[in-house]
Amino acid sequence: MGVSKCVASFTIPLGATINMDGTAIMQGVAVVFVSQVYGIELTLASFLTVILTATLASVGTAGVPGVGLVTLSMVLTSVGLPVEGIALIMGIDRLLDMTRTVVNITGDAVCTLIVAKKEKEFDQEIFYNDNSELEEAAI
C-alpha cells in the first residue's frame, strides 16, 4: 500500500489490539435496538454512558470472533437494560461479526496510512500505481 514496514509493523498490531471501531458501533446500535424492543426510553445521560462504556469495552476487547456479545452485556447493564436482550441479537451475530471485522480492519488501515503520511513514510507512487498488470497475470 505504500506504507513503510517500520510504520506498519507498529500500527497494525496496535490497531488490532485497541482499535475496535466496529465493536463500539455495534454495541451502540444494539443498545438502541434492545431499548426500543423493550419500550425503555434512553436519556441523554444514558447515551453518554453507552458511548463511554462501549468505547472502553471495545478497547479492552480481545480480537476474537463473538466477543462483542460478551461486552454487550456490560454495556446493556450500564444503562439498566435487560441482558436478556442479547438473545435477540445472537441469531444474527455471525453476520454482524463479519461486518464488525471489516470496519475494524478498515479503521486500522486508515490509521496506518495517516501515521505513515504524517511521518513521511508513505510512498504515493506505490499507493496510486496501476495494478492492472498484476490482475491480468493472476487470471
Is 39 in a helix, a strand, or coil? coil
The predicted structure's pLDDT at residue 34 = 95
pLDDT digits (tens, 9 = 90+) for 25-62: 999 999 999 999 999 999 999 999 999 998 888 887 77
What are the b/e assignments for 62-101, b being 16+ CB within 10 Å?
Answer: eeeeebbbebbeebbebbebeeebbeebeeebeebbeebe
Cα distance from N-terminal residue to C-terminal residue, the chain: 21
* pLDDT score of 101: 86
Number of folded domains in the chain?
1
* Euclidean distance between CA atoms 68 and 124, whole angstroms: 36
The pLDDT value given to residue 31: 95
**Three cell numbers at 34?**
434492545
Q: What is the pLDDT of residue 128?
A: 76
Regions of the chain with pLDDT less than 70: 63, 130-139
The whole-number pLDDT of residue 76 equals 93
pLDDT for the residue numbered 16 = 82
Q: What does the angle CA 13 – CA 61 – CA 84 come to, to the nearest 5 degrees?
A: 155
Q: Which residues contact 108 (CB under 8 A, 6 or more apart)?
A: 11, 12, 15, 16, 19
Q: Which range marks the domain in which residue 46 is found?
A: 5-138
Instruction: Supply the pTM of this predicted model.
Output: 0.77
- Tell me which DSSP letter residue 4 carries: -
pLDDT of residue 57: 85
DSSP-derived secondary structure for 63-83? SSTTHHHHHHHHHHHHTT--G
pLDDT of residue 45: 95
